[in-house]
Structure 1
Amino acid sequence: MAGEVAMEAQEKEAQVAAWLKKIFGDHPIPQYEVNPRTTEILHHLSERNRVRDRDVHLVIEDLKQKASEYESEAKHLQDLLMESVNFSPANLSSTGSNYLNALADSAVALETKDTSLASFIPAVNDLTSDLFRTKSKNEEIKLELAKLEKNLTATLVLEKCLREDLKKAELHLSTERAKVDNRLQNMDFLKAKSEEFRCGIRAAEEKLSARGMDTSLSHQSLVALSEKLAELKRQTIPLKKKLESYLDLMPNPSLAQVKIEEAKRELDTIEAELTKKVDMMEL
């Protein structure tokens, strides 16, 4: 089995070498790497080339045969003309020869079987129909081309607008990115400061606690006392108005004296409490 494969490979190499020598002739054959793959590819190409050469040879032989038949038919027709009317193309004038050549060329161009009027008229009609169809197709292509040009213009305008919008968006994004970076830096700075203040407050609280500071004097306690002070001041307003109303009454020495004393005591109590709170806040 291996021997048969080796013999087949050698046979293919020999066929490839013979084909390359035939192709390049007296010219040197280009160097190539001889291996099973390249041999298989070149052998396949040689087979395709051989089949193509055979087909071309058959077409050439067929054309030669047809040319020979046409020559025989032409000679027969020429002899027939000479026998019947003693006419030969050689006896024509130059103008007649030109007309005859033009007639033959027209028949070849129109692909008619002969130069009779019955053959020319359908051929010309077909050619005219083809011309009209071609013109109609050209008009359709022009309309389609105009539409494409219009769409292309709109697309180019849209592309330009999109590019401008993209530039604006990139510029805006760059600006916003710079703002975000700045805010992040500020945030980091504020975080650091906040941590620094927190540590400072904690250290101050520890120092004050170590020194025996009363918790009632802390910031929160003072804020609460300030709110209470404001509330007490608000409560004294109606009492003062009430006292003023008493002062406007006709004096009844005994009753007025009692009311005045009660109001004074109540006002003194509130003022004393207020003074105490203020003194504590000032500490």
Structure 2
Amino acid sequence: MTTLRIGLLGTGPWARRVHAPALAAHPGVELTGIWGRRPEAAAALAQVHHTRPYDGPDELFAACDAVAIALPPAVQAPLAVRAAEAGRHLLLDKPVATSVPEARALAAAADRAGVASVVFFTARFGEQEGEWIAAQAAAGGWFTAHADWLGSVFAEDSSSPYAASPWRRTKGGLWDVGPHALSVLLPVLGDVEAVTATRGPADTVLLTMRHSSGAASTATVGLAAPAAAAGVEITLRGTAGITTLPRRLDGPEPAYHRAVDALLAAAATGLPNACDVHFGLRVTEILAAAEETLSPLMPLEA
């Protein structure tokens, strides 16, 4: 298979900014078409990228080899199951689901169908960040780490296009940026064996974790930090000293291009990618366990 026909599900800001342009520009991909819950948005996005809109997801599945999904997790999971059952490879967004049963059902469907899967985590597929993660995992000897992954999506002066996202307002930064922090910590420190969570201001959450390597880590995640305090920092401490995650020098588009490359490789070879649906499932399980230790999150006011 020299060119993978990929259909896009979703027409929101993330689909318009990253998914559709990257898929349309990728030399190994034919952007077969677009489906969205708002037909007029699907038609407009399809016109921009010289493809066609589809009236329903099943019609799009029938016309492609794989699907890329840019939808809220509660919508993504059941549609991804249907795509897998149709034999379509999966390029998923994080989190794959916010419910453990839904995530397990998705992983099981992908296994039954024998389809390839990749979950897009911007840090894991960023060139500099990915190289750093691999190097630290190979070095080993880390006994502790701390991650700050703080956005200002819900800050008072925010103009973010994601500020009106209903699922983000309901689930908060734990589920939106928590997966990013875990995607860096898990390959370096090992699986999480125990996790607790403490609520801070707004949707801010502090995670405390013990890893299979014996290391302990903490992560502060949230979407309501003041703009001046927002940012991403991850620091590891161990026998090799202290090291920090390199700052991203470009936007998410190059990372998404590499995620597409990973799906192409997994589809061609049958070899699972490290960030496949099972890794996505594990992230969901850890976040769900953390959430159980928290008091209920009050939805943020629009």
**Which interval holds the TM-score relative to the shorter structure?**
under 0.3
Higher relative contact order (CA 8 A, sep 6+): 2
* TM-score normalised per structure 2: 0.15
Larger helix fraction of residues:
1
